[in-house]
Amino acid sequence: MVPFVDLKAQYRSIKDEVNAAILGVIERCEFTLGSEVAAFEKEFAAYCQVEHGIGVNTGTSALHLALLAAGVGPGDEVITVPFTFVATVSAIDYTGAKPVFVDIDPKTFTMDVNAIEAAITDKTKAIIPVHLYGQTADMDPILEIARKRGLVVIEDACQAHGAEYKGRRAGSMGHMGCFSFYPGKNLGAYGEGGMVVTNSPDFTRTIRMLRDWGAEKKYQHVLKGYNFRLEGIQGAVLRVKLKYLEAWTEARRAAAARYDQWFADSNVPTPYVRPDARHVYHLYAIRTQHRQAWQDTLLAQGIQTGIHYPTPVHLLPAFADLGYEAGQFPHAEAAAREVLSLPMFPELTAAQGEQVAQAVLALASSADAPADAPAATVA
């Protein structure tokens, strides 16, 4: 059996430390915010090479509050991609602004920077590039367009803890960077969690208020805010886990390199990595025209896979009101049909990786066989 992720294996490796950290919070009764959260905010911001971190309850809330801090609201437009987890788009929707999509670059699955200019109107306020699967979007052109047009850039770095672009860390390049600590993410809480990181003291101050009922001090509510606080137990768990994040990331990268090697001389399309990128492999996605058959066959052999994501957001029923139609974002739509995420987690052994790779290679070579090929023209 090769699981898609194995959170239990990771827990076993840090059990004593994590249990003690959780007990400490309980004994101090620092259940919400508190000293562990404050320390984690500093440590994670430093990890991201950014001045400030504001802990919140989810990655979705991080995006939502970053948008509000940027002044985004009803009547505004925010540009993002349709090939992402739905939360990116929901966060825009919560503010009352309109999500406006641009297609992805089919090689990297991230925002097509050449499509941005055409999507900008006089209502555009912000751009949210999504660092999908653990590789950042092509940030320099995005930052340049935003600078020229006076737009705010909010990085959706929920899948990209520790990813780098030209030596800069994910979350440090835009005006704000948003992270999720959902359990399955590269840095996962034992529950829900999220953070906004930024170098701006103004955004920091606003987001600190918004996450805690808009209060400047207790009962001094200067903004209409939310209860989006990060829990003390999550802060404590995340502080323990942050110490291991670099080692876990290198283990993911090694597991990805092993897959790459296995697939090197085959027709299996492996993830494209930009030469200037540090990919952190939240997911390792290949592409196939035979996805359902491959997924079923792999599962029958005890290999779990995932699909991230089967429907691009512009075609989800929940966002039908945006008025988009099939065919408008062909690269996102093709990716949604073809991507298949293989097992990827730091504890994935070389033997497990080899088992997965051999099973995929067998599928790929039978997909090549004449029976599966398009019918040749008959003379």
Ligand X SMILES: *Cc1c(COP(=O)(O)O)cnc(C)c1O
Q: Is 109 in the site for ligand X (CB under 6 A)?
A: no
Cβ-based neighbours of 38, under 8 Å, separated by 6 or more = 235
Q: Which stretch binds ligand X (CB under 6 A): 80-88, 204-212, 260-268, 343-351?
A: 80-88
Query: Token pair for residue 46?
Result: 């430093």
Please, which residue, 41 or 192, has the CB nearer to ligand X? Answer: 192
Q: Which stretch binds ligand X (CB under 6 A): 27-35, 40-48, 153-161, 216-224?
A: 153-161
What angle, rounded to 10 degrees, do the helices at 232-242 and 7-28 form? Answer: 130
Q: Report the DSSP beta bridge partners of residue 178.
A: 156, 196
Considering only 10, 60, 108, 186, the residue that binds ligand X (CB under 6 A) is 60
Considering only 41, 76, 103, 156, the residue that binds ligand X (CB under 6 A) is 156
Q: Which stretch binds ligand X (CB under 6 A): 81-89, 215-223, 264-272, 297-305?
A: 81-89
Considering only 10, 80, 88, 172, the residue that binds ligand X (CB under 6 A) is 88
Please, which residue, 85 or 259, has the CB nearer to ligand X? Answer: 85
Q: Is 136 in the site for ligand X (CB under 6 A)?
A: no
Q: Which stretch binds ligand X (CB under 6 A): 43-51, 151-159, 213-221, 231-239?
A: 151-159
Query: Token pair for residue 163?
Result: 């990813």
Considering only 58, 108, 204, 341, the residue that binds ligand X (CB under 6 A) is 58
CA distance 339 to 342: 10
Q: Is 180 in the site for ligand X (CB under 6 A)?
A: yes
CB of 182 to ligand X, least distance (A): 4
Which strand ranges, in their side-by-side order, compose the sheet holding 98-101? Answer: 52-56, 194-198, 176-180, 152-156, 124-127, 77-80, 98-101
Residue 371: helix, strand or coil by DSSP? Answer: helix
Query: Token pair for residue 78?
Result: 């925010």
Q: If you count DSSP H runs as helices and E runs as strands, how many of each does the chain have, helices first?
A: 12, 14
Considering only 54, 130, 137, 256, the residue that binds ligand X (CB under 6 A) is 130
Q: Is 234 in the site for ligand X (CB under 6 A)?
A: no
What angle, rounded to 10 degrees, do the helices at 291-300 and 350-368 form? Answer: 140
Q: Are 138 and 115 in contact (CB under 8 A)?
A: no
Please, which residue, 61 or 288, has the CB nearer to ligand X? Answer: 61
In the window 244-303, what residues touch ligand X (CB under 6 A)?
Answer: none
Q: Is 158 in the site for ligand X (CB under 6 A)?
A: yes
Considering only 40, 85, 133, 165, the residue that binds ligand X (CB under 6 A) is 85
Q: Are 162 and 170 in contact (CB under 8 A)?
A: yes
Beta strands in the chain (DSSP E): 52-56, 77-80, 98-101, 124-127, 152-156, 164-165, 168-169, 176-180, 194-198, 215-217, 220-221, 277-278, 284-287, 339-342
Please, which residue, 67 or 268, has the CB nearer to ligand X? Answer: 67
Considering only 159, 172, 249, 305, the residue that binds ligand X (CB under 6 A) is 159
Q: Which stretch binds ligand X (CB under 6 A): 24-32, 35-43, 84-92, 331-339?
A: 84-92
Q: What does the DSSP 8-state code read for residue 130? A: B
Q: Is 84 in the site for ligand X (CB under 6 A)?
A: yes
Q: Is 110 in the site for ligand X (CB under 6 A)?
A: no
Residues found near ligand X in the complex (CB under 6 A): 58-60, 84-85, 87-88, 130, 156, 158-159, 180, 182, 192, 194
